[in-house]
Amino acid sequence: MPNSRPRALLRLVLYAALTLPLMPVQALLVLARAPLAARLPRWYHAACCRILGLRVLVRGAPSEVAPTLFVSNHLSYLDIVVLSALAPVSFVAKREVASWPFFGWLARLQRTVFVGRDRRSVHDERDSLAGALAEGRSLVLFPEATSWDGNRLRPFRSSLLAAAEIAPDGRPLAVQPVTIAYTRLDDAPMGRNLRPFFAWYGAMDLGPHLWEALGVGLVTVEVEFHDVVTFARFGSRKALTQHCESSIAAALSDLNAGRRPGAPRRASP
């Protein structure tokens, strides 16, 4: 795949020029608990989509209920940019992300909820998620527990959907499955051979992968928001997990194959 170093460098410079001045601004907004702390990231990530050459097409609409738990498949660090451009959300991430240079700072500025993966942290995780939801913050959860290749799903971990049982202010929590797929590169269908340039998983090194992704052309990312459901509709975490997994898996297969019905709307650029 052709990779343009000048393009990669230009995108990197533009990204830094946008991001670095806004970081202290967002930090102050978060400390002040200002409403703009939830709105600024959406504008910022929409601008990042344009800088990074991400053409985002959308089917359905994100839930406007606050809070909502969005349940999504996970391919790449680019998912964060795309989903954040479409809705005012925070993310649920593994605790190690908090210590990552630069990206850990960005995650904190978007009020990410960091959770552990061991059984001893289950109660702490639930309390952290409940606190964020009680504040009216919508969260994005990746129940595969890691990013993957974008061709198929890893099994969803039902334990990660414990947050769906939380009822902020006594109201059932809105849960919305979301499918994200990287489908075209410069208007050509993106097959299995090209998707790893954008999907980041396994033992891939972040730096070289990011540099390659910055240097390619225009990438089409399709996002489908499925019907909103609640935990009460299914009665068990396992049944809710199966519903989310099957809905996302079917849409991912169709989007990758270019056979999803209905015309999407363009979100950016």
What span, in angstroms and rounded, lies between the C-alpha atoms of 127 and 182? 34
Decide: helix, strand or coil at residue 193: coil
28-73 per-position pLDDT tens digit: 999 999 999 999 999 999 999 999 999 999 999 999 999 999 999 9
Residue 269: its pLDDT value, please? Answer: 53
CA atoms within 13 A of residue 256's CA, in its CB half-sphere: 20
What span, in angstroms and rounded, lies between the C-alpha atoms of 178 and 71? 6
The helix/strand count (H/E) of the chain reads as 8, 9
Q: 197 falls in which pLDDT band (50, 70, 90)?
A: confident
249-264 burial: b if 16+ Cβ within 10 Å, else e: eebbbbbbeeebeeeb
**β 188-189/89-94 pair status:** unpaired
Per-residue tokens: 39: 């709105």
**Total of domains in the chain:** 1
What span, in angstroms and rounded, lies between the C-alpha atoms of 76 and 193? 16
CB neighbour list of residue 189: distance below 8 Å, 6 or more residues apart: 183, 258
For residue 188, the enclosing domain spans 5-268
Per-residue tokens: 120: 């001893």
Per-residue tokens: 117: 């993966």
Q: For residue 138, which phi and psi values (nearest 5 degrees)? A: -80, 140
CATH number for the domain harbouring residue 207: 3.40.1130
What span, in angstroms and rounded, lies between the C-alpha atoms of 19 and 33? 20
Mean pLDDT taken over the chain: 91
231-263 per-position pLDDT tens digit: 999 989 999 999 999 999 999 999 999 888 877
Per-residue tokens: 218: 């225009």
What span, in angstroms and rounded, lies between the C-alpha atoms of 144 and 249? 12
Q: For residue 265, which phi and psi values (nearest 5 degrees)? A: -100, 150
Q: 122 falls in which pLDDT band (50, 70, 90)?
A: low
CA nearest to 223, candidates 190, 192, 268, 191: 268
Q: 230 falls in which pLDDT band (50, 70, 90)?
A: very high
Residue type, 103: F
What span, in angstroms and rounded, lies between the C-alpha atoms of 209 and 76? 10
